Amino acid sequence: MAHATIYRSCFALLLALLAGFVNAQDSRAKDDSERKERLEFMKRQAAEYTITLDADKPVELALHDEPILRFSNPVGGVPDGIVVMWKEGARPAIFAQVFQIKNGDWLHECQSMAATGLTMQSGSVTRWQPKSGPGEFRPLNDAGAAADSAARRLVQMKALAARFAASDDFKISSTDKETTRHELRLLPTPVYRYEDKSADIADGAVFAFVHGTDPEMFLTLEYRDAGGKAGWQYALAPMTCWAVQAQLDGKEVWSVPERLGKSTPSDPYHIWKYVPGTTSER
């Protein structure tokens, strides 16, 4: 009798464990499916835009085929987002974040890297029209010559990126009176790598400085060989409305102020609320 009771108890426990496992698998499958659907929705949002560079003959920028990064920011209330990029040739021309915040709203955040003005349109509506980019690339005069292979240049670029440090002054809520400084983490692997011989770029890479996994600043490194002058150059681009600072070898070389609610469609950086089928802006 005692053995039968034990067997029944063990069997009931096994059934409960099996049911829990099945439920967990179903829940995980549902989460994976929703995550995939959300990714496709974010990609479709980015694909709605047409972007042209200002020129006598306007040049349409190409949207990179896949997001260069997917991220979240639990501290900032961002459950999911992607970074997309438009290119001029192979070079980055625009970084953009498509992300959702905790109240369910979708935001689009764009930063120009283009040397000229541009126009971003959604259908017939102009959403962003910056007059210029963030500024010219700066030389890294003490970086040495480029290595003789792609693999060695990657090691070289990782070492150059590690010489930089960055931080941002972040508010968990826009109503907070004080900001908190957060040291940003350098992702060790570039989010994008390229060459563009037509622009005399032998090698280039984009590195992300992140808060959690949310990129707050991009560092672009390029080795150029133009006019007999070869050398490494860098450019820094903010990907946030908060104040950002960057140091090279411990010395501050770049900063941008807080721009919460201050950006306009004519600025190199702009953020707006995306509402499908409308022209509402934040």
Cβ-defined contacts of 224-232 (< 8 Å, 24+):
224/199, 224/200, 225/200, 226/200, 230/145, 230/146, 231/139, 231/140, 231/141, 231/143, 232/139, 232/140, 232/143, 232/144, 232/146, 232/160
Q: Is the pLDDT of residue 175 over 80?
A: no
Bridge partners (DSSP) of residue 84 are 96
Residue 229 has pLDDT above 90, yes or no: no
Specify the pLDDT at position 203.
97
| pLDDT higher than 90, residue 173 | no
Mean pLDDT on 94-106: 95
Q: Each residue of 5-39: pLDDT tens digit?
A: 666 666 666 666 665 555 545 456 557 899 999 99
CA distances 74 to 102, 163, 249, Å, are: 9, 28, 30
Question: How many CB atoms are closer than 10 A to CB 191?
Answer: 19
- Lowest mean per-residue pLDDT among 1-10, 193-202, 209-218, 232-241: 1-10
3-state secondary structure of 77: coil
Residue 3: pLDDT over 80: no
Predicted local distance difference test score (pLDDT) of residue 176: 81
In this structure, are residues 84 and 64 in contact, taking their beta carbons and an 8 Å threshold?
Answer: yes
What are the residues facing 211 on neighbouring strands?
A: 214
The most confident of 134-138, 215-219, 227-231, by mean pLDDT = 215-219
Most confident of 57-61, 191-195, 276-280: 191-195
Give the max Cα distance, the chain: 94
Q: How far from each other are the two terminal CA atoms of the chain, in whole angstroms?
A: 72
Rounded average pLDDT over 185-211? 96
Choice among 2-6, 57-61, 96-100, 151-155 with the minimum mean pLDDT: 2-6
Domain spans of the chain, in order of start: 1-37, 48-274
pLDDT in tens, 263-272: 999 999 999 9
Instruction: Work out the mean pLDDT of the chain and round it to a whole number.
Output: 89
For the segment 228-246, the average pLDDT, to the nearest whole number, is 93
DSSP code of residue 197: G
pLDDT band for 282, please (50, 70, 90 cuts): very low
**pLDDT for the residue 236:** 96
pLDDT of amino acid 174: 66
- Alpha helices, DSSP H, located in the chain: 2-47, 150-161
More confident residue, 174 or 118: 118
Q: What is the mean pLDDT of residues 161-171?
A: 95
Quickly state the pLDDT bin for 228 (edges 50, 70, 90).
Answer: low
Question: Do 250 and 235 form a contact (C-beta atoms < 8 A)?
Answer: no
Strand arrangement of the beta sheet that strand 49-53 belongs to: 59-60, 49-53, 118-122, 125-128
Cβ within 8 Å of residue 121, ≥6 positions away: 49, 50, 51, 127
Contact 107, 271 (CB under 8 A): yes
Question: Strand 201-211 to strand 59-60: parallel, antiparallel, or no bridges (unpaired)?
Answer: unpaired
Q: Which of 116-130, 169-183, 238-252 has the lowest mean pLDDT?
A: 169-183
Q: Output the six-digit token pair for 66.
A: 């896949």
The reported pLDDT for the residue numbered 89 is: 94
Distance CA 252, CA 275 (A): 39
Whether 279 shows a pLDDT value over 70: the answer reads no
pLDDT of residue 281: 45
Taking residues 181-198, report their average pLDDT. 96
Dig out the tokens for 113 from the structure: 């890297």
CA–CA distance from 126 to each of 45, 95, 130, 244 (Å)? 15, 18, 11, 28
- Quickly tell me which residue has 């259908």 as its tokens: 123
